Structure 1
Amino acid sequence: MGNEKIIIIGGGAWGNTIGYLLNRSNHQYQLWSRSVKDSLATMVKDADIIISAVSMKGVKDVITTLGSIDLNPDIIIVTATKGLDLETTYTPSQIWHKAFPHNPIVVLSGPNLAKEIQRGLPAATVVSSKNSTSAELVQSVFASDIFRVYVNDDPIGTELGGTLKNVMAIASGVCDGLELGTNAKAALLTRALPEMIRVGVKLGARVETFFGLSGLGDLLATSDSHLSRNYQVGFGLAKGKTLPEILAQLEGTAEGINTTNVLIKLAQKQHISVPITYQIYLLLQEKITPEIAVKNLMARELKEEFYFDN
């Protein structure tokens, strides 16, 4: 197409970064946030692509606003939110699909630290949808000299990879904050991936998706960077700060905190083994110290490395 009308919803760091990427790919867009005078209904009229870049807690509010509009079923909805809904345990794309079942839904997720992208550093991502035509269109819209875009047809897996790694990034921050060393961190991240896969497969994702950019790629990026808000949470806790102190200084939302709570709820309901997540949950609830969390993980029952329930 080439001259799509694109609307970005969300004026935070990620929404503005998406705008930067569209500028790099020579696509015009309009950005809507609560501070914009024009109504969302006015802006999405005749839109070709709507990109949701709001936090998890803002998804339902945006959907409620759009729900009062007679949204054209040809409009592609791109969700760039990483998280899980506490009430329903749904992913953002599942919430969008339930609200707009006739619109193509595309997930955008990958190892995409906003501050690095805005410095013009190269990155890659995944766009995923059951509607291959829509995914390929979004791929062409975002592709640029600094942003390589891949396509797959496993939106749930793509979404969960980007969501679950936020919990593991908190754990990684704890590991570095306690100065446990490279061996410990390598072990943590290696064990984090099968935990993510166990959850993903139970919820309908494909195993191989977690070895791609939105799974392993995003896990590595956010677990080894002080730019990651979730990493900062874990690092701060390991250094003796309280969670309110950390959040007061944080730029933006650390989605891993809410995701941890939802994941524990899911794991209990679906009988999924999530040992790393459980220790992070106890830590965030101030029921254990970072040191005890590490001790608990090291004291777990001995098992074969590739035992399915390990």
Structure 2
Amino acid sequence: MTKHVTILGTGAWGTALGHLANYGDNRVTFWSRRGELSLEAAIANADVLVSAISMKGVAETAEKVRQIGLPSHTIIVTATKGLDAATTRTPSQIWQETFPNRPVVVLSGPNLSKEIDAGLPAATIAASRDLYAAETIQTVFSSDIFRVYTNTDPIGTELGGTLKNVMAIASGVCDGLNLGINAKSALLTRALIEIVRVGTTMGADVETFWGLSGLGDLLATCNSNLSRNYRVGYGLAQGKSLEGVLEEIQSTAEGVNTTNVLIDLARKQEVEVPISYQVYRLLNGQISAEEAVAALMERDLKQEVVTPEE
């Protein structure tokens, strides 16, 4: 059945999602703040509203959509990965609080937009407390190059995709310093445990992080120079300034903002995040890449614990 899909945001990921929706029997409309189409016109007939805008614009855009009003049947999908600097809320929490009686679906997984644009196969998760809404989005985006799974843990699905951006910066540092496979394997293993620790504190199901939106996204983002966040870490390890690296990328690296918000959240929740903390110090010019690695290696010796209660 044909669905009218409106994509908010025409960046790399929003554009890729539009292409994926076009594989099915769907009509796709793109909207951006710089475009000629008004927001009111873009959402007027939307069966599916996909938010793929940068984190800093989510709250403002959600409020504008609320003021305009959505068709009664519209399913809201969020594909943004980040944390709100003012409230530490995730994108889905912002949309759900703005539209408390609407189904909100999180779309997240190991999905590098350039590979999707090239027609390479990929898989993702559509997660919602409303399983019918998740299954509807599964149908809308599934194709012979894009496999969509469902689950009912939107916060876990979302946090897996959000927090791995912080770890991708750390992974870029590891590769930029040529620390080797042993070091990187240790880093990614401990990074996943750290993500689980934060995620379960925020109410996520631990099992979600072993799947596509957790481990899968972590592996994809931490092992590819197609990842903007990985490139941030790699550039910093080369001695470049953060401003210089971001200028080279010429795009948003959500992991930079997420790191700062995550540290604030971790302090409030009293959650241990050693890797994220060293990334935070590096991004804020407090230490060098080499000093960040040394700080992690010099931590107190302990027994390995791989449960979130560590």
Give TM-score scaled by structure 2 length. Answer: 0.98
Equivalences, count: 309
The answer to whether structure 1 residue 162 and structure 2 residue 141 are counterparts is no
Q: Does the 8 Å CA contact 2:20/2:146 hold for their aligned counterparts?
A: yes
CA deviations over 1:30-69 (Å, ceiling 9, x no partner):
1011232221112211321100010101112211221211
Distance 1:234 1:65 in 2: 35
Unaligned 5+ runs, structure 1: none
Q: Does the 8 Å CA contact 1:273/1:309 hold for their aligned counterparts?
A: no
After superposition, residues 176-187 of structure 1 pair within 5 angstroms as: 176-187=175-186
User: Which residue pairs with 2:201 in the alignment?
Assistant: 202
| AA partner of residue 42 (structure 1) | A
| AA partner of residue 192 (structure 1) | A
CA deviations over 1:80-135 (Å, ceiling 9, x no partner):
00000011000000000011111110000000000001000000000000011110
Distance 1:43 1:186 in 2: 45
Unaligned 5+ runs, structure 2: none
The answer to whether structure 1 residue 22 and structure 2 residue 60 are counterparts is no
Distance 2:215 2:71 in 1: 36
| AA partner of residue 68 (structure 2) | I
Q: Does the 8 Å CA contact 1:171/1:234 hold for their aligned counterparts?
A: yes
User: Which residue pairs with 1:38 in the alignment?
Assistant: 37
| AA partner of residue 51 (structure 1) | V
User: Which residue pairs with 2:80 in the alignment?
Assistant: 81
Runs of 4+ in 1 over 4 A off after TM superposition: 307-310
Q: Does the 8 Å CA contact 1:85/1:92 hold for their aligned counterparts?
A: yes
Deviates more, 1:171-180 or 1:44-53: 44-53
Distance 2:37 2:146 in 1: 30
| AA partner of residue 262 (structure 1) | V
User: Which residue pairs with 1:62 in the alignment?
Assistant: 61
After superposition, residues 97-112 of structure 1 pair within 5 angstroms as: 97-112=96-111
User: Which residue pairs with 1:256 in the alignment?
Assistant: 255
The alpha-carbon deviation at position 309 of structure 1 amounts to: 5.6
User: Which residue pairs with 2:91 in the alignment?
Assistant: 92
Over the aligned positions, Cα root-mean-square deviation in angstroms equals 1.1
Distance 1:199 1:260 in 2: 12
The alpha-carbon deviation at position 222 of structure 1 amounts to: 0.3
The alpha-carbon deviation at position 24 of structure 1 amounts to: 2.0
Distance 1:179 1:23 in 2: 41
Q: Does the 8 Å CA contact 2:3/2:25 hold for their aligned counterparts?
A: no
**Sequence identity, in percent?**
59
The alpha-carbon deviation at position 20 of structure 1 amounts to: 1.1
User: What SS does the corresponding residue of 1:148 show, helix, strand or coil?
Assistant: strand
User: Which residue pairs with 1:241 in the alignment?
Assistant: 240
User: What SS does the corresponding residue of 1:29 show, helix, strand or coil?
Assistant: strand
After superposition, residues 134-149 of structure 1 pair within 5 angstroms as: 134-149=133-148
Distance 2:66 2:75 in 1: 15
Q: Does the 8 Å CA contact 1:229/1:251 hold for their aligned counterparts?
A: no
The answer to whether structure 1 residue 218 and structure 2 residue 252 are counterparts is no
Deviates more, 1:28-37 or 1:186-195: 28-37
Give TM-score scaled by structure 1 length. Answer: 0.98
Distance 2:34 2:282 in 1: 36
